[in-house]
A = this chain, B = another copy of it.
Amino acid sequence: MTRLVYISGEMVPEHEAKISIFDSAIMVADTVTESTRTFHKTPFKLDEHIARLYRSMKLTHINPQMTPEQLKKITLDVLAANLSNYEDHQDCWIVHNISRGLSVPGADPTKQLGAATVMIFTQLMDLRSWANFYREGCHAVTPMSRMVPSQSLDPRIKNRSRLPYTMAEMEVKLVDPLAQSVILDLDGHVAENKGGNIFAVINGVLKTPTTVNCLAGVSRATALELAQKLGIPTQETVLLPYDLATADEVFFTSTPYCIMPATKFNGGVVGDGKIGPVTKRLLAAWSELVGIDIVQQALAQIN
């Protein structure tokens, strides 16, 4: 079956899922966004994602012309319309991209000239690029470029003006083609990955940066909640490269992979170079929470 995509009120087949090149999504990347994933075809924390999307729209003054409830309903409709595209053991992304709509060169870019462009689509949760990291851990690397600071653009406004992240990611690929970025802020503090948050286990405490310099990730929150449930002490604090280099365990959190262990950092091993016990417990707890063996689901894609 052809994938169906929602664009501003219409459900269209994937190959027709196009927008005008004059849309502000393309012209000035005035697009806020969310990426939710399903477990067993059920969206995970969809309410939190939609709430954050509305916070992003509040800050950017994009008016979607619908309520969160309406958006949720449409989202579930898009999912329902596409469910048959995914096999039993498969899950999918649900992506929201909402732009300010039509843009005209020379016109006031702060004005929403008409309706927002609301794009919602599902996508097979393809975990092949990360799956092996569940077994061997990934290589976390710091780029030379620094995070856009909050006083330029708060990273909690989840948006699609993402070139700085892509550039940072390119830099770390110079070190290792499979490297995952650990972007530092202007003070050299660990901020975030191009699409995820960063955690370290240090002397038994699970630490992650505060949201002063990074996205307030839904997966980040889930990891903290699970740790608290498991009795693992947690701390939101400043982390420096030294902390990651000497940590017992390091991992990333993000919507698609939930938790991705890192066993190398800037060319050195993390801990003993193996995926650590706290990481494993959290992954297991997450799997239990969602009723899917997260690791097995991913590994099945590459075996």
In the complex, residue of chain B having the shortest beta-carbon distance to the beta carbon of A20: B18
In the complex, residue of chain B having the shortest beta-carbon distance to the beta carbon of A148: B152
**A245 CB-CB contact with B under 8 Å:** yes
**A88 CB-CB contact with B under 8 Å:** no
**A303 CB-CB contact with B under 8 Å:** no
Chain B residues, CB < 8 A from A161: 29, 160-164
Known A20-B18, A21-B18; contact A153-B145, beta-carbon cutoff 8 A:
yes
Docked complex Cα distance between A216 and B183 (Å):
24
Q: Are B146 and A143 in contact (CB under 8 A)?
A: no
**A279 CB-CB contact with B under 8 Å:** no
Q: Are A22 and B17 in contact (CB under 8 A)?
A: yes
Docked complex Cα distance between A27 and B26 (Å):
9
Q: Are B26 and A151 in contact (CB under 8 A)?
A: no
Docked complex Cα distance between A198 and B103 (Å):
24
Docked complex Cα distance between A170 and B147 (Å):
22
- Shortest Cβ distance from residue A151 to the other chain B in the assembled complex, whole angstroms: 3
- Shortest Cβ distance from residue A154 to the other chain B in the assembled complex, whole angstroms: 4
Q: Are B194 and A109 in contact (CB under 8 A)?
A: yes
Q: Which of A210-262 contact B (CB under 8 A)?
A: 210, 212, 237-238, 240-242, 245-246, 256
Docked complex Cα distance between A5 and B109 (Å):
22
Q: Give 8 pairs: A residue, B residue, CB < 8 Å, sorted on A.
A: A5-B21, A17-B22, A22-B121, A26-B99, A27-B97, A145-B153, A149-B188, A189-B212
